[in-house]
Structure 1
Amino acid sequence: MISVKNLSKFYDHFKAVDNLSFDIAPGNIVGFLGPNGAGKSTTMKMLTGFLPPSEGEIFIKERSIDSDAKVIQRDIGYLPEGAPAYGDMTVWQFLHFIADVRRLKGAHRKERLYDVIHRVELGDVLNRPIDNLSKGFKRRV
């Protein structure tokens, strides 16, 4: 469950997001649509805990993004357009880099790496540099 109540984001006198409220029930798939400058990316950054709201509340699985951002971030994935990756790294190297950043260790690390590789079907491109991948594979990485 995602619950957003009276969410706003201000940059000085500019309102990027203005009093947004919605609920998304578990299992629902939704689209987040709007014109350029409507606040979609800003809202997604707030929902994922990467940008603090100026006002309002965000709850994911009944946890507040304000107090439990790191816990929530372990349970969600967010792929912004143009997601950064190191193009000269192979897919395998990049996945290990991310595992290091997330401080994954031992059997849990191995399990998570192989789970991701299987889920997004990266097995055939593990040894290829990211810069040499198709746009679709880059998005998966």
Structure 2
Amino acid sequence: MISAKNLSKNFGTLKAVRGISFEVKKGEVLGFLGPNGAGKTTTMKLLTGFLVPTAGSVSICGFDISKNLLNAQQKIGYLPEGSPLYGEMTPRTFLNFISQVRGLTNDTAENAFKKVVKDVGLEGVLDQEVETLSKGYQRRLGLAQALIHDPEVLILDEPTDGLDPNQKHDVRKLIRSLARKKAIIISTHILEEVESV
């Protein structure tokens, strides 16, 4: 489902990613572990098509990102580092917006909304402005937007960043349950994070 071959990315003379190759199949979780500045986020951006590799290739569900970017991106749920969100929106309006962007029909969108809200625990904050939410709830909202279209591939950059211990436990449990039906990559600098899923 996810295939990277000899993937490299240079920024001028800086070699951020050097010749990475791996495959992740349905039912597998790949933990991408390394210290800050090791190239994890750059690799996530290469896998999702937000950066173009200097060399190498990426395939998502059989679609080469360099040739079929949109088809590949439709298969991906991506939680970027920092979860860029719209602060003036509420979680309800944000997730409805993401449903439209993802092309979900009204019935499908409503069912998907209910499921992700329950799965990530957003019930109590649906009508608050995003900018008033704690970092933990903002991270949960970011995870919800990555899941709302039920993607085959999940790429999660520091998925539990900013969450309290109970929230981390819940997110890890959710990732384990999703792993049966998806190919998942988690980047983190915390070994415990990878071991727990």
Range class of TM-score, shorter chain:
0.7 to 0.9
Distance 2:66 2:112 in 1: 27
1:4 partnered with 2:17:
no
Instruction: Give the equivalent residue in structure 2 for 1:69.
Output: 69
For residue 23 of structure 1, what is the amino acid of its counterpart? E
Matches within 5 A, 1:22-37: 22-37=22-37
Matched-pair contact (CA < 8 Å) for 2:60–2:75:
no
Q: Deviations over 1:17-59 (max 9, x none)?
A: 1111112232111211122322111110010111111110111
Report the structure number with the largest CA radius of gyration.
Answer: 1
Report deviation, 1:105: 4.4
Listed as ranges, the gaps of 5+ residues in structure 1 are: none
| Residues 13-22 or 42-51, more deviating | 13-22
SS at match of 1:66: coil
| Residues 110-119 or 26-35, more deviating | 110-119
- When the two structures are superposed, what TM-score results if normalisation uses the length of structure 2? 0.63
Q: Deviations over 1:42-96 (max 9, x none)?
A: 1100101111111101112222122222222222222122111122321112222
SS at match of 1:83: coil
Report deviation, 1:126: 1.0
Q: Structure 1 or 2: larger strand share?
A: 2
1:117 partnered with 2:114:
no
For residue 50 of structure 2, what is the amino acid of its counterpart? F
Corresponding pairs, count: 141
SS at match of 2:67: helix
1:131 partnered with 2:139:
no
Report deviation, 1:132: 2.5
Report deviation, 1:97: 2.7
Higher relative contact order (CA 8 A, sep 6+): 2
SS at match of 1:84: coil
Distance 1:47 1:23 in 2: 12
Instruction: Give the equivalent residue in structure 2 for 1:96.
Output: 96
- When the two structures are superposed, what TM-score results if normalisation uses the length of structure 1? 0.85
RMSD (Å) for aligned C-alpha atoms: 2.0
Distance 2:14 2:109 in 1: 43
Instruction: Give the equivalent residue in structure 2 for 1:57.
Output: 57
1:43 partnered with 2:48:
no
